[in-house]
Copies of this chain bind each other. A is one copy, B any other.
Amino acid sequence: MPQIRLALAQVNPTVGALDANADLVVRFASHAAGRGAHLVAFPEMVLTGYPVEDLALRRSFVDASRRALDALAGRLVAEGLGEVAVVVGYLDRDDDPAHTERLGRPRGAPQNAVAVLHGGRVVATQAKHHLPNYGVFDEFRHFVPGEHLDVVRLHGIDIALAICEDLWQEGGPVAATRATGAGLLLVVNASPYERNKDDVRLDLCRRRAAQADCTLAYVAMVGGQDELVFDGDSIVVAADGEVLGRAPQFEDGCLVVDLDLPARTAPAPVLGTVAHAEAAGYPVRRTVISTAPLPAYEPQPAGVAPRIGEHAEVYAAVVTGLRDYVRKNGFRSVVFGLSGGIDSALVAVAACDAIGPPNVYGVSMPSRYSSEHSKSDARELADRTGLAFSTVPIAPMVAAFLDNIELSGLAEENLQARVRGMTLMGLSNQHGHLVLATGNKSELAVGYSTIYGDSVGGYAPLKDVGKTLVWELARWRNAAAQARGETPPIPQGSIEKPPSAELRPGQLDADTLPDYALLDDVLDDYVEQDRGSAELVAAGFDPELVREIVRLVDRAEYKRRQYPPGPKITTRNFGRDRRVPITSAWVEPPPSGTP
């Protein structure tokens, strides 16, 4: 059987950075060629970054992506890589007016496409067939679907192409690939991280490899883009389900896998031409780069990275999202309130891991209600991590407001949180730090957060991390440090003390909210599973508790709309995933039988 050395380049592009992304492709292609690869594949839309959102609708951007693709083909030759086939995702335009008219879409509508570059030319292109338009995806808004399957013959091996969602659907490219008898199905992806107990992607790759009856290579993106984090996990599986190679999660790098694949005897066009046919109801375009198999060579073993644990995974997503938001938006440092509580402690440690302690500014902003342990826990964390620590007591600013406006009760509590937010914004304006909001998902869900107070920030690392998970991550991070022989960064006091906003004497979260374990359990059902009240009660939750939590969640939507972005961790984050109206009189009906 003919051999081929495949490299999957698991890289971290930046949205809109066409030149830098092209550099990334050249650098990784060069590295892969140095390791003897004949075929190098990059993720979905690597040239533009992903998702580009409404930039896809701007003609100047689509034109620039097409020009960048052509330029890249030429540049690869100039770098001595003309003999390597390079597969890259990019943003294209549908040049077939009959096709877009049939779809009722404007001429020249954008497409999410993949190209095969070889010998200085774009030898084949294919547009995504299945456009996801649920959850965080809006691809029906941005793209028109492709309708061809492209099969490229390289060193005598037929390689079929697919893009991300095409793999998640049984029909279309997967079925057509089987019908063409291709030896390899190469899938380019940008699949956002989502906390999952099961190994969904590997299961899917195995199932589709069996359905396509060939080896399947899945190349994934890494890195953060606004609310999304791409976790990598590129995979190669044989048709029988054997894992031939797997890249580590959350790390960029190049997975090199030697493959023995069936030679094709199916009819193929003359070198350099394109032939049209049909398979499983799909139009197929066949292109030949080279027909002769490579001389036999000694295959090298490929790496199969183990999966990391659940907490390591979530923590890596938080750190990756934070690091890339900082870096890709041109910041060098972050600042936030270090209260001594668990949320800001975890944010502090994640920030130190993301960009290094000298770039992390933690500010203790005690008020008259702050406990001694708050102040000492904050300082202790600063000492353990080495972050830049300072203290700004808020009493004088709070007093200035109270002397001039009559504020009491909740208004006075919120005032304290807002003086802290303003203090952080002042430091940000003065020194150029990015402000981090340290709130967690449970608080944001029920509105236990002061708008323009603790919600202040450009990025919110724990936006999609519930309080229960915050504690788990803190314990996990400390244990991981201990296992490496390091000092656990988070003081035990911050982990163990009962949560409190400390905005009035003796205040505890538990005065206002149910126990967090219970709250998070209800929120998982209501927010992440989108279940109605009746279902929640049927699942065993107390009807009055359900009524109260649902009410709190519903009426806090206006706060969430003004909250900064943060990394998506769960199946349904507040933001791209869950889009509900602010103005809504809908009240979940009580289950039948309850008053």
Residues of A in contact with B (beta carbons under 8 Å apart): 14-18, 20, 49, 51-55, 57-61, 64, 104, 133-134, 138, 140-141, 169, 171, 224-226, 324-325, 328-329, 392-393, 396-397, 399-401, 403-408, 410-411, 414-415, 418-419, 421-423, 425-427, 429-430, 451-452, 456, 458, 530-535, 558, 561-565, 578-589
CB <8 Å contact, B430 and A401? no
What B residues does A404 contact at CB under 8 A?
392-393, 396-397
Distance in Å from the Cβ of A395 to the closest Cβ of chain B? 9
CB <8 Å contact, B138 and A20? no
Distance in Å from the Cβ of A228 to the closest Cβ of chain B? 10
What B residues does A53 contact at CB under 8 A?
579-581
CB <8 Å contact, B138 and A530? no
CB <8 Å contact, B582 and A226? yes
Q: A14-B583, A405-B426 known; 5 other A-B pairs, CB under 8 Å?
A: A52-B581, A60-B532, A225-B581, A226-B582, A565-B582
CB <8 Å contact, A581 and B55? yes
CB <8 Å contact, A585 and B430? no
- Which of B396, B410, B530, B581 meets A16, CB within 8 Å? B581
CB <8 Å contact, A430 and B408? yes
Most buried by B among A140, A392, A558, A582: A582
**Which 9 pairs across A and B sit closest by C-beta, in order of nearness?**
A60-B532, A16-B586, A411-B429, A400-B400, A17-B585, A16-B584, A16-B585, A411-B430, A397-B400
CB <8 Å contact, A329 and B58? no
Complex CA distance for A430 and B581, rounded to whole angstroms? 26
Which B-chain residue is minimally distant from A63 (CB atoms)? B532
What B residues does A588 contact at CB under 8 A?
60
Complex CA distance for A579 and B51, rounded to whole angstroms? 11
What B residues does A422 contact at CB under 8 A?
401, 415, 418-419, 422, 452
Distance in Å from the Cβ of A585 to the closest Cβ of chain B? 4
- Which of B408, B562, B583 meets A325, CB within 8 Å? B583
What B residues does A587 contact at CB under 8 A?
16
Distance in Å from the Cβ of A26 to the closest Cβ of chain B? 17
What B residues does A17 contact at CB under 8 A?
585-586
What B residues does A410 contact at CB under 8 A?
429
Pairs across A and B, CB under 8 Å, 6 listed: A17-B586, A53-B579, A54-B578, A134-B141, A138-B141, A393-B404
Complex CA distance for A581 and B329, rounded to whole angstroms? 11
Which B-chain residue is minimally distant from A575 (CB atoms)? B561
Complex CA distance for A534 and B67, rounded to whole angstroms? 15
Which B-chain residue is minimally distant from A141 (CB atoms)? B133
CB <8 Å contact, B59 and A532? yes
CB <8 Å contact, B396 and A400? yes
Complex CA distance for A456 and B226, rounded to whole angstroms? 23
Distance in Å from the Cβ of A504 to the closest Cβ of chain B? 14
What B residues does A418 contact at CB under 8 A?
422, 425
Distance in Å from the Cβ of A522 to the closest Cβ of chain B? 15
What B residues does A531 contact at CB under 8 A?
60
CB <8 Å contact, A426 and B430? no
Complex CA distance for A584 and B406, rounded to whole angstroms? 44
Which B-chain residue is minimally distant from A61 (CB atoms)? B586
What B residues does A57 contact at CB under 8 A?
530
CB <8 Å contact, A452 and B421? yes
Complex CA distance for A52 and B423, rounded to whole angstroms? 38
Most buried by B among A14, A410, A586: A586
CB <8 Å contact, A558 and B55? no
CB <8 Å contact, B406 and A586? no
Complex CA distance for A15 and B224, rounded to whole angstroms? 35
CB <8 Å contact, A54 and B580? yes
What B residues does A59 contact at CB under 8 A?
532
CB <8 Å contact, B397 and A426? no
What B residues does A583 contact at CB under 8 A?
14-15, 224-226, 324-325, 328-329
Distance in Å from the Cβ of A456 to the closest Cβ of chain B? 6
- Which of B64, B429, B563 meets A407, CB within 8 Å? B429
Complex CA distance for A487 and B390, rounded to whole angstroms? 56
Which B-chain residue is minimally distant from A423 (CB atoms)? B405
Complex CA distance for A535 and B59, rounded to whole angstroms? 10
Which B-chain residue is minimally distant from A130 (CB atoms)? B104
CB <8 Å contact, A58 and B530? yes
Which B-chain residue is minimally distant from A106 (CB atoms)? B134
CB <8 Å contact, B16 and A138? no
Most buried by B among A324, A404, A415: A404
Complex CA distance for A534 and B61, rounded to whole angstroms? 11
Distance in Å from the Cβ of A593 to the closest Cβ of chain B? 15
CB <8 Å contact, A328 and B429? no
Distance in Å from the Cβ of A325 to the closest Cβ of chain B? 6
Which B-chain residue is minimally distant from A572 (CB atoms)? B54
What B residues does A429 contact at CB under 8 A?
407, 410-411, 414
CB <8 Å contact, B407 and A426? yes
